[in-house]
Amino acid sequence: MSKLSLITKGFVKDNPTFSLVLGMCPTLATTTSAMNGLEMGLATMFVLILSNIVISLVAPVVPDKVRIPVYIVIIATFVTVLQLLMQAYVPAVYETLGLFIPLIVVNCIVLGRAEAFANKNSVVDSALDGLGIGIGFTMSLTVIGIVREILGSGSVFGWKFIAGDGILAFVMAPGAFLVLGYLMVLFNKFLAKK
């Protein structure tokens, strides 16, 4: 597999949201606006790349029976690093995403890539895989965020184009499920290979 396709496979073929259907909790909860979706995607990508690198390094020496706890500890370490970094440098973003930053620890995408890819591939490949999947996740979350923000608040990335409120349901949980479902339909119809 070429280095480039390691990255690009995360966009469509192994898209974590629309193709693998992983990490649904942050996908549904944090995509109330385009900006929130983008930030959540980038935060997850940060953890994904670093944990993939470290896990691919330690995988040969970790006994099989305890690998999951070890991976979780590694992932949790990077989540803590991320949490402290965000709290220090982007406190506003840290406030908006709130609980969902520590919850990256239990995001299935991160553990999924550790199990499915990082523990049996080289460091460089694992880093690229983390980058590709991370970009795929960020793109999906941003698209969901854009759609929900347009319909729910009448704005894009905070730029308001209608006065007043939009269709409030799209900012709430039902809207998240509806938008995710219909985008998945479009994704499977036009992008996914049969």
d(CA 15, CA 142): 13
The torsion angles phi and psi of 14, rounded to 5 degrees, stand at: -110, 30
Q: Ramachandran region of residue 50, left (φ > 0), alpha (ψ -120 to 50) or beta?
A: alpha
Q: Is 28 in the site for another protein (CB under 8 A)?
A: no
Choosing from 106, 156, 169, 183, the residue that interacts with another protein (CB under 8 A) is: 169
Tell me which residue of 110, 130, 119, 129 sits closest to 59, measured CA to CA.
119
Pick one of 35, 58, 62, 167: the residue that binds another protein (CB under 8 A): 167
Q: Select the residue interacting with another protein from 9, 170, 176, 184 (CB under 8 A).
A: 170
> What's the closest the beta carbon of residue 169 comes to another protein, in angstroms?
4
Decide whether 18 or 78 has the Cβ nearer to another protein: 18
With b for 16 or more beta-carbon neighbours within 10 A and e for fewer, the 1-24 pattern comes to eeeeebbebbbeebbbbbbbebbb
Min separation Cβ 162 and another protein, Å: 12
Q: Does 174 engage in binding with another protein (CB under 8 A)?
A: yes
CB 38 within 8 A of CB 145: yes
Those residues whose C-beta lies under 8 Å from the C-beta of residue 34, and which sit 6 or more positions away, are 142, 145, 146, 149, 156, 157
Give the C-alpha separation, 56 to 59, whole Å. 5
The residue from 172, 186, 191, 192 that contacts another protein (CB under 8 A) is: 172
Which stretch, 72-80, 82-90, 153-161, 163-171, contacts another protein (CB under 8 A)? 163-171
Residue 60 or 181 with smaller CB distance to another protein: 181
Binding residue (CB under 8 A) for another protein from 168, 186, 191, 192: 168
Residue 167: CB minimum distance to another protein, A = 4
Q: What is the binding site for another protein (CB under 8 A)?
A: 167-170, 172, 174, 178
